[in-house]
Amino acid sequence: MTSNRLPNRGRVDHGKPVRFTFDGKALQGLAGDTLASALLANGIHLMGRSFKYHRPRGVVSAGSDEPNALMGTRRGAGQFEPNTRATIQELRDGLEATSQNRWPGLGFDVGAVNDHLGSLFSAGFYYKTFMWPRAFWDRVYEPVIRGAAGLGVSPTESDADSYASRFAHTDVLIIGAGPAGLAAALAAGRSGAAVMLVDETAEPGGSLLSEPDVVIDGKPAWDWLAATLAELAALPNVTILTRTTAIGYYHQNMIGLAQRLTDHLDTVPAGAPRERMWKVRANQVVLTQGALEKPLVFDGNDRPGVMLAGAAQTYLNRYGVKVGDRPVIVTSHDSAWYTAFDLAEAGAKPVAIVDVRTDVAGALTDRAREHGIETLIGRTVTGTSGRLRVSSIRVNRVENGKATTPRDIACDTVLMCGGWTPCLHLFSHTKGSLAWDDELKAFLPGHRTEAVHIAGAGRGLWGIASVLADGAAAGTQAALDAGRDATEHAHTVEADRPGTGITVKELPTDRDPGKAKAFIDFQNDVTAKDIRLAVREGMRSIEHVKRYTTNGMATDQGKMSNINGLMIASDALGKAPPQVGLTTFRPPYTPTTFGTFAGYHKDATFELTRKTPIDPWAEAHGAAFEPVALWRRAWYFPKPGEDMHAAVRRECQATRASVGMFDASTLGKIEVAGPDAVTFMERMYTNPWAKLGVGRSRYGLLLGEDGFIRDDGVIGRLGPDLFHVTTTTGGAARVLNMMEDYLQTEWPDLQVWLTSTTEQWATVALQGPNARKLLEPFVEGLDITAEAFPHMAAAECTVAGFPARLFRVSFTGELGFEVNVPARHGLALWEKLWEAGQQYDVCAYGTETMHVLRAEKGYIVVGQDTDGTLTPADAGLTWAIGKKKPDFVGKRSLSRPDMVAPGRKQLVGLLTDDPTVVLQEGAQIVADPNQPKPMKMLGHVTSSYWSDAVGRSIAMAVITDGHAREGETLYIPMPHHILTAKVVKNTVFYDPENTRLSA
Partner 1 sequence: MLLIHCPYCEQDLPELEFAYAGEAHIARPADPSKLTDEEWRDFLFIRTNPRGVHFERWRHINGCARFFNAARETVSDRFLLTYKAGEPRPDVAKLTGVAQ
**Interface positions with partner 1 (CB under 8 A):** 250-252, 254, 279, 281, 431, 449, 705-706, 737, 740-742, 744-746, 748, 886-887, 891-893, 896-897
CA distance 134 to 57: 34
Spatial CA neighbour of 706 closest among 868, 819, 588 = 868
φ/ψ of residue 61, rounded to 5: -125, -175
Q: Between 41 and 743, whose beta carbon lies closer to partner 1?
A: 743
Q: Between 279 and 326, whose beta carbon lies closer to partner 1?
A: 279
Q: Between 194 and 894, whose beta carbon lies closer to partner 1?
A: 894
Amino acid code (one letter) for 759? E
Query: Considering the complex, what minimum distance in angstroms separates the CB of residue 744 from partner 1?
Result: 5
Query: Considering the complex, what minimum distance in angstroms separates the CB of residue 173 from partner 1?
Result: 15
Q: On the CB side of 152, how many CA atoms lie within 13 Å of its CA? A: 24
CA distance 203 to 9: 17
Query: Considering the complex, what minimum distance in angstroms separates the CB of residue 452 from partner 1?
Result: 14
CA distance 458 to 288: 6
Q: Between 207 and 430, whose beta carbon lies closer to partner 1?
A: 430
Residues 6+ apart with CB under 8 A from 282: 169, 170, 171, 172, 173, 196, 253, 254, 255, 451
Q: Between 821 and 881, whose beta carbon lies closer to partner 1?
A: 881
Strands 275-287, 254-260: pairing kind: antiparallel
Secondary structure element (H or E) that encloses residue 315, with its range: helix 309-319
CA distance 247 to 165: 14
Query: Considering the complex, what minimum distance in angstroms separates the CB of residue 760 from partner 1?
Result: 17
Q: Between 574 and 886, whose beta carbon lies closer to partner 1?
A: 886
Q: Between 126 and 747, whose beta carbon lies closer to partner 1?
A: 747
Query: Considering the complex, what minimum distance in angstroms separates the CB of residue 540 from partner 1?
Result: 25
Q: Between 430 and 906, whose beta carbon lies closer to partner 1?
A: 430
Using omega within 30 degrees of 0 as the cis cutoff, is the peptide bond preceding 17 cis? Answer: no
Query: Considering the complex, what minimum distance in angstroms separates the CB of residue 541 from partner 1?
Result: 21
Query: Considering the complex, what minimum distance in angstroms separates the CB of residue 731 from partner 1?
Result: 16
Strands 519-521, 526-527: pairing kind: antiparallel
Query: Considering the complex, what minimum distance in angstroms separates the CB of residue 434 from partner 1?
Result: 17
* 8 Å CB contact between 441 and 502: yes
Query: Considering the complex, what minimum distance in angstroms separates the CB of residue 683 from partner 1?
Result: 10
Spatial CA neighbour of 340 closest among 312, 380, 300 = 312
Spatial CA neighbour of 946 closest among 637, 642, 645, 647 = 645
Q: Between 121 and 747, whose beta carbon lies closer to partner 1?
A: 747
Query: Considering the complex, what minimum distance in angstroms separates the CB of residue 251 from partner 1?
Result: 5
Secondary structure element (H or E) that encloses residue 405, with its range: strand 402-410
φ/ψ of residue 8, rounded to 5: 60, 25
CA distance 921 to 899: 26
Query: Considering the complex, what minimum distance in angstroms separates the CB of residue 650 from partner 1?
Result: 43
φ/ψ of residue 70, rounded to 5: -105, 130
Q: Between 895 and 995, whose beta carbon lies closer to partner 1?
A: 895
Query: Considering the complex, what minimum distance in angstroms separates the CB of residue 431 from partner 1?
Result: 7
Q: Between 254 and 926, whose beta carbon lies closer to partner 1?
A: 254
Q: Which residues pair with 818 in a beta bridge?
A: 765, 807
Query: Considering the complex, what minimum distance in angstroms separates the CB of residue 733 from partner 1?
Result: 9
Q: Between 755 and 969, whose beta carbon lies closer to partner 1?
A: 755
HEC readout, 675-736: CCHHHHHHHHECCCCCCCCCCEEEEEEEECCCCCEEEEEEEEEEECCEEEEEECCCCHHHHH
Query: Considering the complex, what minimum distance in angstroms separates the CB of residue 433 from partner 1?
Result: 12
Q: How many residues does the chain have?
A: 999
Q: Between 129 and 756, whose beta carbon lies closer to partner 1?
A: 756
Amino acid code (one letter) for 780? E
In sequence order, what DSSP letters do the residues of 547-577 get, joined into one string? HHH-TT-STTTTTTTHHHHHHHHHHHHTS-H
Q: Between 219 and 885, whose beta carbon lies closer to partner 1?
A: 885
Query: Considering the complex, what minimum distance in angstroms separates the CB of residue 705 from partner 1?
Result: 6
Query: Considering the complex, what minimum distance in angstroms separates the CB of residue 599 from partner 1?
Result: 14
Residues 6+ apart with CB under 8 A from 344: 350, 371, 372, 373
Q: Between 366 and 746, whose beta carbon lies closer to partner 1?
A: 746
Q: Which residues pair with 81 in a beta bridge?
A: 73
Query: Considering the complex, what minimum distance in angstroms separates the CB of residue 605 from partner 1?
Result: 17
CA distance 547 to 545: 6
- Angle between helix 528-536 and helix 542-549 axes, rounded to 10 deg: 120
* 8 Å CB contact between 447 and 433: yes
Q: Between 897 and 932, whose beta carbon lies closer to partner 1?
A: 897
Residue 534 three-state SS = helix
* 8 Å CB contact between 207 and 179: yes
HEC readout, 888-932: CCCCHHHHCHHHHCCCCEEEEEEEECCCCCCCCCCCEEECCCCCC
The strand order across the sheet containing 219-220 reads 219-220, 215-216, 493-494
φ/ψ of residue 821, rounded to 5: -130, 160
Query: Considering the complex, what minimum distance in angstroms separates the CB of residue 824 from partner 1?
Result: 25
Q: Between 891 and 952, whose beta carbon lies closer to partner 1?
A: 891
CA distances 867 to 740, 874, 899, 959, Å, are: 23, 11, 15, 13
Q: Between 269 and 886, whose beta carbon lies closer to partner 1?
A: 886
